[in-house]
């Protein structure tokens, strides 16, 4: 099966489904997540530094966000970043809303920040991405959203695009089905399964390094990297077959 060049589009002859990540691909919410991660971790790291009388090294969006949390399930992201700093915390109670001494507590604090921003400021979409979704649907190609976020449905509703996707495999679904998050391919494979398509006949669209790696490792027919953060080379190195700045580049 030939892979389309950047100036070509996705056709029904080649593929039966396109699986889209949410944050940074469909909606301009990646910056909301990044800012929320930074505030949550910086507050935690400051308090820890004061308590241990050590130096405070803030969370860096340019490096820490990309390497340790972007595209991952929330608690996996917390654990991954803490491990990078040599910090070991207990997992804790997932229902805890304000315990900064556990992985789940920190993750839930970050989640509350994101919910508040979505509720008060709404969600912006990438018009080129929505245009591509509509274009492939018009050809009879199935569409799904695969996101690590538990706020996926709220974001889709706030953006007014929930009806464009037959299937949603998000953080809530992953937790219920006990699916490992990206870079494991399981959430994408679940979406393909629910759509009734073979991975080799499906496209994965991702902006996160962990996401393109998941698409590559899952044996999908095409992995498209969306370069929102100047990561084109890293996206290619981790599994993107092609990289675009905007999904409108794939429209006819």
pLDDT in tens, 108-146: 999 999 889 888 888 899 999 999 999 999 999 999 999
Query: Could you tell me if 62 and 143 lie in one domain?
Result: no
Query: Could you tell me if 24 and 36 lie in one domain?
Result: no
218 inside domain = yes
Query: Could you tell me if 107 and 133 lie in one domain?
Result: no
* C-alpha span between 120 and 206 (Å, rounded): 26
| Run of H or E residues at 168 | strand 167-169
9 inside domain = no
* Banded model confidence at residue 66, pLDDT cuts 50, 70, 90: confident
* Banded model confidence at residue 95, pLDDT cuts 50, 70, 90: confident
* Banded model confidence at residue 1, pLDDT cuts 50, 70, 90: very low
| Catalytic-residue membership of 246 | no
* C-alpha span between 165 and 156 (Å, rounded): 10
Query: Could you tell me if 62 and 86 lie in one domain?
Result: yes
133 inside domain = yes
Q: Which residue has the tokens 């949390």?
A: 69
* Banded model confidence at residue 2, pLDDT cuts 50, 70, 90: very low
39 inside domain = yes
What token pair was written down for 181? 């998050």
Query: Could you tell me if 21 and 138 lie in one domain?
Result: yes
Query: Could you tell me if 114 and 154 lie in one domain?
Result: no
**Which one from 23, 170, 207, 241 is the annotated catalytic residue?**
23
The DSSP bridge pattern shows strands 17-20 and 222-226 to be unpaired
* Banded model confidence at residue 70, pLDDT cuts 50, 70, 90: confident
* Banded model confidence at residue 226, pLDDT cuts 50, 70, 90: very high
5 inside domain = no
User: In which domain, by residue range, is 168 found?
Assistant: 17-29+124-250
**92, 121, 150 - which closes a domain:** 121
Query: Could you tell me if 131 and 237 lie in one domain?
Result: yes
**98, 121, 144 - which closes a domain:** 121
**70, 92, 121 - which closes a domain:** 121
Helix orientation angle between 103-121 and 74-84, rounded to the nearest 10 degrees: 120
The total domain count for the chain is 2
pLDDT at 75 over 50: yes
Residues in the chain: 252
**Which one from 21, 64, 70, 111 is the annotated catalytic residue?**
21
| Catalytic-residue membership of 23 | yes
Helix (H, G, I), strand (E, B) or coil at 96: coil
What does pTM read for this prediction?
A: 0.79
Query: Could you tell me if 24 and 145 lie in one domain?
Result: yes
């Amino acid at each position: 099966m030939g892979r389309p060049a950047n100036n070509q589009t996705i056709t029904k002859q080649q593929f039966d489904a396109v699986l889209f990540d949410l944050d940074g691909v469909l909606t301009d919410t990646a910056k909301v997540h990044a800012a929320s991660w930074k505030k949550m971790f910086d507050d935690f790291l400051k308090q820890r530094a004061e308590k241990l009388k050590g130096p405070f090294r803030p969370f860096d969006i340019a490096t820490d966000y990309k390497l340790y949390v972007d595209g991952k399930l929330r608690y996996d992201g917390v654990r991954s970043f803490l491990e990078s700093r040599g910090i070991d915390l207990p997992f804790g109670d997932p229902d805890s809303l304000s315990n900064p001494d556990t992985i789940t507590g920190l993750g839930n604090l970050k989640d509350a920040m994101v919910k508040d921003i979505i509720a008060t400021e709404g969600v912006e979409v990438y018009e080129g991405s929505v245009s591509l979704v509509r274009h492939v649907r018009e050809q009879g190609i199935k569409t799904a959203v695969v996101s690590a976020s538990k706020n996926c449905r709220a974001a889709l509703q706030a953006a007014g695009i929930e009806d464009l996707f037959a299937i949603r495999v998000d953080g809530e679904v992953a937790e219920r089905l006990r699916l490992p998050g990206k870079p494991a391919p399981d959430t994408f494979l679940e979406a393909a399964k629910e759509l009734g398509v073979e991975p080799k006949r499906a496209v994965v669209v991702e902006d996160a390094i962990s996401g393109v790696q998941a698409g590559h490792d899952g044996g999908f027919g095409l992995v498209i990297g969306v370069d929102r953060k100047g990561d084109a080379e890293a996206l290619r190195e981790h599994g993107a077959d092609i990289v675009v700045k905007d999904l409108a580049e794939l429209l006819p």
